[in-house]
Chains A and B, each alone.
Chain A
């Protein structure tokens, strides 16, 4: 197997006195879907924000595409090809759907821009229907799709998505996960998502189990027993 494109080692991050990550090691290979699973407060969000650069880390290294990026500002990481769709506050609430997508393609060249926005509309036809609507008047599920759409429009090499399924109906979750898989296959994007939904087993190539700021397991999905994962690391929602 080739070198990982994203590798994290010895990552420690704190909120004041509370340490949320206690020396984490984590890696992602090219064109993989990796799931980070764990109970509430495990540190999933903290890990993703640390990688994207919106959280200040205390110790550790982050290597991305051969660069040591742990001291880089968000913007520079973004330019190198990292994008995070945060768990909350992941849309521009007072802009129309269309404008949300238009600003998200800011780093791409003109020809690419239209292609990316079209791709989002194809994946989420409902966004095309609602393109003139102001984002914060969309339903919760539609807002989630817009958030993922913003991630897709950004055309990053590695897309980090924090709990995309939260608040979505079971049917929509299945559809969203299929869409993510399709994105991966069509565009060779690498996707890292944190999840509490058991269906993540259907799309992820590998899973990391995170609990109380420490990695508990790192396994290929096919080697994992459903029940063990479910009992220990996933919520009862299925």
Chain B
């Protein structure tokens, strides 16, 4: 397998920023943030683009992981790791329920139902203000208090790399190939005699679990979450991470996460205009670069360095 070294290389590169821990400060903080969204980006890459499941509830699964962790540890005094685990399981359950309940409907309805759930969820958080803090949010010591900020940063880096490695691995297995088949032609896969429903449930479970776990990690790292963080915009934002980077290639989400997180960091003074900016970028990407950045960057590299190609 030729792609193998490239994949291992990608994972190693993903591990490199752990060196930032020596420098600390802003660079480290932003990198951790990029990685937390990278996890979600890979979930979208896996579920939407590789398995062909029209799901738009990434902010919901992420939020469930995050809020469950806080509520269980702070209110019910459960041990942190148990809470994180339960949070991830809850996110899995929601994702699978979403799939099962919409499995009779056609693709577009599933997109819409999950997107509506993404609109509903922050409203629910606000309605549950006494527990969740609503708009004003909740603060959370969690792992930061337990292991310290630097260790947590390293943990985020390593876990992200491990999750990415897991996704790359699973797409190479038989399960992954069947999911690819399902995304290309669902009917045909069924007629071949495969139980596609089982594989789809598996895909939703994996995606839900990792997204929920990523959400738990997120709130441990940032130490704060409010309904504003999980607004419906977030789900689109996550969805576009693989799309902008290039959904066909395995390192697409990496490029995409760099793009969607770093650009706003560079554009701090115009934060007011962020939605306009992203909305336009999203539309432009779909219209002009439906393959995402990756193939175009490759083309550019080839142009600059014709001998390598």
The answer to whether A and B touch directly, with their CB atoms under 8 angstroms apart, is no
Query: What residues of chain B have their CB less than 8 Å away from a CB belonging to chain A?
Result: none
